Amino acid sequence: MVNTFTLISGQAYITTYELVRKYVSQYSEDNTVKSLVAGGFASLVAQSITVPIDVISQQLMMQGQGEHLTRFRLNFNTETGKPKKVFGQTRNIMGQIFAADGFRGFYRGYVASLLTYIPNSAVWWPFYHFYAEQLSQLAPSDCPHLILQAMAGPLAAATASTVTNPMDVVRARVQVEGRSSVIETFRQLIKEEGCWGLTKGLSARIISSTPTALVMVVGYETLKKLSLRPELVDSRHW
């Protein structure tokens, strides 16, 4: 339920991406440059909304068998002996985070998130357009462009996830374990687990990001097509 609020960040993300891409196009016609800059700025805006939601949802996820890894515990209802449901639990955790760390507690791992998702987004869009262009050269001329884009999205997601996974591992540790130093967390991770520790969760990220990219690309490109003025529809290759 808490993660449904990320819909707001999604709206902010795509709006920022389109606006920045349009602005950059005044100075450069290079598709890679426009995608990289717009993707980076879009992620900056989106993460400012997403990080507090992530912090709360991660603390909720760690309750139960993993609660020894987190500083916060759900307060149980004295009458039933069970934690309050859904938003009762959310208010409970939010209150504990604010009491312990103040407003800054909701932005724990913000820098690590920016270091993860700005590169992820900046890499995703150029690779998306790159894969779409390469696939269009290999595919038959009558192949619908939307199918190629639907293939390019997951490929770009897998590539971006692989490139940025080390920073995502550090981000998760900073947020869940309540650490404050990104550099110190990185050093300790290397010391304890070696370079292989930076690949933790990579398969899960790829499995998660590829279907998400597929749905996003199909929806995004379809809505763009529907939003075009009638006289421009035939000028695009779909």
The H helix count followed by the E strand count for the chain is: 8, 0
Nearest residue to 224 (alpha-carbon basis) of 235, 213, 233: 233
| 3-state DSSP assignment of residue 220 | helix
Residue with tokens 């809505």: 223
At 99, which amino acid appears? A
Only one residue has tokens 């270091």, namely 115
Mean pLDDT of 4-30: 90
Which pTM value belongs to this model? 0.71
DSSP 83: B
Instruction: Name the more confident of 211 and 142.
Output: 211
- Which residue is it, tokens 């070696």? 194
Amino acid identity for residue 223 in this structure: L
Higher pLDDT, 35 or 80: 35
Instruction: State both tokens at 84.
Output: 């309050």
Residues 45-56 pLDDT 10s: 999 998 888 888
DSSP-derived 3-state class of residue 104:
helix
Is the C-alpha dihedral spanning 40, 206, 106, 50 positive or negative?
Answer: positive
CA atoms of 157 and 88, how far apart (whole Å): 35
Q: How far is CA 188 from CA 117, 174, 176, 194, in A?
A: 22, 12, 15, 9
pLDDT at 91 over 50: yes
The whole-number average pLDDT for the span 65-83 is: 57
Mean pLDDT throughout 209-220?
91
The whole-angstrom distance between residue 163's C-alpha and the CA centroid of its chain comes to 14
Residues 6+ apart with CB under 8 A from 45: 12, 13, 16
In this predicted model, which residue has the larger pLDDT, 194 or 69? 194
Longest dimension (CA), the chain: 68
Task: Return mean pLDDT, the chain.
Answer: 83
Q: How far apart are CA 199 and CA 203, in angstroms?
A: 9
Statement: residue 127 has pLDDT above 90: yes
Distance CA 177, CA 69 (A): 6
